[in-house]
Amino acid sequence: QVFTFNRVEIRVQPSLKVKNGAPMSIICHADISKNTDFQLKHNFTIFKNGKLVFMTVSDKEDARYEIPVAKSSDTGDYECTVKADGKLGFSNSIYVWVAGMTKPILTADKKEVLEGEVVKLRCELTEEVPPLEFFFRKIKTNSAPKEKRVPEQNQNFSEVEFYIEEGDNIVQFDCFGKRQVRSGWESSQHSNRTLVTVKEPFIKPTLITRPRSNITEGDQIEFDCSTVVAQMRDIEIIFQKNRTILNSVRDKKSLKYSTVATQEDSGEYLCKVEQGAVSKTTKLNVSVSELFPKPTLSASMTKLDESKDLNLSCSINGFRRANFSIIRKSSSGDILLKNSRVLAIKVTVNDTGSYTCKAGVKGIVKESKPVRISVYAPVSKPTLSVVSGSPEVVLGKPLQLICHSVMGTPPITFTFYKGDEIKKNVTNDTYAIFLDEDIGLNDNGGYKCDARNNHSSGVKTSNILNVSVIVPVRDASLGSVPYGEVEVGSDTAFLCSVKEGSWPIDFKFFKKTDHEVLLHEVREYSDRAIWHKKTMKRKDTGTYYCVASNRASVDVRSRPITISVILAAWHKGVIAAFVLTAMAGAGAVALWWFLHKKKK
């Protein structure tokens, strides 16, 4: 008995796309060739998405997996295998799409709720398998539905809560589901609509005023806010203007608030009733007519010298009879100066500040705009000095000056002069700084400064400041007499000079060895210095240089010179005579030795 698998194929009836709820069959067929006609047992196995869904044994070459009612969960990739007498055949994979989803079932935990409560909904797709997406909708008349999306990875139902808001009288809910298929997303029908009736826990509050209209400053105005409550539990009434809470009550149906009306009381008032998460508001605009305008404070002068007379006067346009007071403003609070329309004082510097006046009619008090009064003490004669302390500056370096007045009410304006030329104006409290960056060789004085403020005494001028310009040392050179070679025991004069530089100049003479050796230093009010070195020795042979500096603090170093200390001429003669005498004695000894040997 010989057989072989030609092919194994899988197909679906009626088609690869099946409508949800319709029957469908998955057929696995084995095409087998045999050498003789004999019975062969076939083990059929059908898989969906890699999982076993059907298995049978038959002597026929076909096996049918019947699904009487197809569901969307039957969508997937199908394939089959056939095993016979140890041989195994595999089919290709086919994709079967069960189009459409079953209609979901929606339930609500309550049919009647109060505003501010929560409705819990459950949407279930009994015939579907996760993952799924659920969409819940809250539907109100004349408004767009509010929708919530909830993905579910492991169950075919979902639950969600909806808040019931103010004005939700009759609310309907529904839901639908979605699942992902190979071609995209597929949606179910919408569920049944569930109706929920909403009741008000309290009505919108009523806000009235007494009197209702024609309110004038000084009138007693009363606000009355009330509501009707179903349950007197945790209810609160809040009364406010703009964002400011004026009054509030708990567990009561009404609130009252009264005050003496002022123009500042004009505006929008709000009565808010809150219970749990429910809040209802009523607004009311109130207009308060002006009883009298704000007073005006006038001053005889706003800027004046100390010890001068100042007159302050308070007035109301169209009114003469009022309770007036004049006040000085302070950081620690208002200071009452006088209960009167007018105030006359002789001022001091301490009287500088802001002043207002108040006027009262029928219990209404209004305040004027502030008036700034400035009292000035005269400036003292300023002093001008160099910031660094010393009245001198290095040529080419900037010069920083400070002008200072000990006395005088700020602000003070300082003016700097270089000669008769104005260089800078600075307004400050007690001092000002000037930087002169253009220092020339002939700038040796002529600086002064002025100081003035708003006092009538005018300008005060400092003494003239003379500043010395220090010229830095330049081009130092070193020479010697004699130059180059010096005899042992003789004297040598070293001359260090500079081309320019302000006096005094410090000169230093060095000999260069393994380290710098200072031999001599001197301060001269000259552009040169001479150093006499007595009795030169052979060890004085070497390289010499000098360094020059002044108050500019710039060291200038000369080029080095080399000095060789040699023997004197008479020293050389003595040495020559000694050598010749020695040579003559040696010659005589040699002649005596030769003659004595010859005689023998």
Which tens digit of pLDDT belongs to each residue from 461-471?
999 988 888 88
Tokens of 244: 């400011």
User: Rounded to whole angstroms, how far apart are CA atoms 287 and 268?
Assistant: 9
Q: What is the largest CA-CA distance in the chain?
A: 174
As a residue count, the chain comes to 600
Give 5's contacts (C-beta < 8 A, 6+ positions apart).
30, 31, 32, 82, 84, 87, 89
What's the pLDDT at 236? Answer: 92
User: What are the two backbone dihedrals, phi and then psi, of residue 168, each rounded to the nearest 5 degrees?
Assistant: -80, 80
What's the pLDDT at 571? Answer: 60
Query: Whose CA is closest to 381, among 446, 450, 431?
Result: 450
Residue span(s) of the chain under CATH 2.60.40.10 come to 3-99, 105-199, 206-286, 296-376, 383-467, 474-566
188 contacts 123 by C-beta, under 8 angstroms: no
pLDDT at 388 over 70: yes
Of the two residues 389 and 109, the one the predictor is more confident about is 109
pLDDT at 248 over 80: yes
Q: Tokens 């909830």, residue?
A: 150
pLDDT at 573 over 60: no
Number of other residues whose CB lies within 10 A of the CB of residue 290: 13
Give 545's contacts (C-beta < 8 A, 6+ positions apart).
478, 510, 512, 557, 558, 559, 560, 561
User: Rounded to whole angstroms, how far apart are CA atoms 287 and 322?
Assistant: 24
pLDDT at 165 over 90: no
Q: Tokens 């002022």, residue?
A: 262
What's the pLDDT at 580? Answer: 63
- Assigned fold of 206-286: Immunoglobulin-like (2.60.40)
What's the pLDDT at 325? Answer: 94
254 contacts 207 by C-beta, under 8 angstroms: no
Number of other residues whose CB lies within 10 A of the CB of residue 343: 21
CATH of 296-376, one of 1.10.3720.10, 1.20.1250.20, 3.50.50.60, 2.60.40.10: 2.60.40.10
What's the pLDDT at 487? Answer: 84
429 contacts 350 by C-beta, under 8 angstroms: no
Of the two residues 135 and 440, the one the predictor is more confident about is 135
423 contacts 439 by C-beta, under 8 angstroms: no
Q: Tokens 């826990």, residue?
A: 201
β-strand 505-512 against 42-48: which pairing, if any? unpaired
User: What are the two backbone dihedrals, phi and then psi, of residue 590, each rounded to the nearest 5 degrees?
Assistant: -65, -40
Of the two residues 10 and 587, the one the predictor is more confident about is 10
CATH of 474-566, one of 3.40.50.170, 3.40.50.20, 2.60.40.1180, 2.60.40.10: 2.60.40.10
What's the pLDDT at 514? Answer: 78
Task: Write out 557-590 in H/E/C secondary structure.
Answer: ECCCEEEEEECCHHHHHHHHHHHHHHHHHHHHHH
Query: Whose CA is closest to 528, among 553, 557, 495?
Result: 495
User: Rounded to whole angstroms, how far apart are CA atoms 76 and 65?
Assistant: 14
Q: Of 85-94, 272-281, 296-305, 500-509, which range is least confident? A: 272-281
Query: Whose CA is closest to 286, among 242, 249, 237?
Result: 242
User: Rounded to whole angstroms, how far apart are CA atoms 140 and 134?
Assistant: 20
What's the pLDDT at 397? Answer: 84
What's the pLDDT at 440? Answer: 74
pLDDT at 587 over 70: no
Mean pLDDT confidence for 72-101: 91
pLDDT over 70 for what percent of the chain? 96
DSSP 595: H
What's the pLDDT at 362? Answer: 82
Tokens of 50: 């890699």
pLDDT at 105 over 80: yes
Mean confidence (pLDDT) of the chain: 88
pLDDT class of 512 with cuts at 50, 70, 90: confident
pLDDT class of 568 with cuts at 50, 70, 90: low
CA terminus-to-terminus distance, the chain: 154
Q: List b or e across 346-359, with b for residues whose CB sees 16 or more CB atoms inside 10 angstroms.
A: ebeeebebebbbbb
User: Rounded to whole angstroms, how far apart are CA atoms 596 and 113?
Assistant: 163
pLDDT at 574 over 60: no
Mean pLDDT confidence for 363-385: 92
Of the two residues 588 and 105, the one the predictor is more confident about is 105
pLDDT class of 318 with cuts at 50, 70, 90: confident
pLDDT class of 326 with cuts at 50, 70, 90: very high
pLDDT at 322 over 90: no
Tokens of 562: 């080399």
What's the pLDDT at 577? Answer: 60
Q: Of 155-159, 235-239, 296-300, 487-491, which range is least confident? A: 487-491
pLDDT at 109 over 80: yes
pLDDT at 600 over 80: no
User: Rounded to whole angstroms, how far apart are CA atoms 239 and 208?
Assistant: 12
Of the two residues 54 and 598, the one the predictor is more confident about is 54
Of the two residues 537 and 370, the one the predictor is more confident about is 370
205 contacts 253 by C-beta, under 8 angstroms: no
Q: Where are the alpha helices (DSSP H) in 149-305?
A: none
Say which amino acid occupies 164: I
pLDDT tens string 182-239: 778 888 989 999 999 888 888 889 999 999 888 988 889 999 999 988 777 788 999 9
Mean pLDDT confidence for 386-391: 84
Mean pLDDT confidence for 270-292: 89
With 0.75 as the threshold, say if the pTM is over it.
no
Tokens of 95: 């994709």
Q: Of 211-220, 236-245, 273-282, 586-595, which range is least confident? A: 586-595
- Assigned fold of 105-199: Immunoglobulin-like (2.60.40)
Number of other residues whose CB lies within 10 A of the CB of residue 149: 11
pLDDT at 164 over 80: yes
What's the pLDDT at 155? Answer: 94
In DSSP terms, which residues pair with 542 in a beta bridge? 563
- Assigned fold of 3-99: Immunoglobulin-like (2.60.40)
User: Rounded to whole angstroms, how far apart are CA atoms 230 and 249?
Assistant: 17
pLDDT over 90 for what percent of the chain? 51
248 contacts 239 by C-beta, under 8 angstroms: yes
pLDDT at 595 over 70: yes
Q: What secondary structure does DSSP assign to 181-237, as a single string? A: ETTEEEE------EEEEEE-SBPPPEEEEES-S-EETT-EEEEEEE--BSS-SSEEE
Mean pLDDT confidence for 499-525: 89
What's the pLDDT at 160? Answer: 95
Collapsed DSSP state (helix, strand, coil) of residue 263: helix
- R_g over Cα of the chain: 58
What's the pLDDT at 10? Answer: 95
Give 591's contacts (C-beta < 8 A, 6+ positions apart).
none
pLDDT at 314 over 80: yes
150 contacts 109 by C-beta, under 8 angstroms: no
Give Cα separations from 169 to 81, 103, 112, 146 (angstroms). Answer: 62, 28, 10, 15
Mean pLDDT confidence for 159-188: 88
Residue range 383-467 forms a domain whose CATH class is mainly beta
> In what order do the strands lie in the sheet containing 460-461?
421-428, 412-418, 447-452, 460-461
44 contacts 5 by C-beta, under 8 angstroms: no
Which helix H or strand E contains 337, and what residues bound it?
strand 335-338
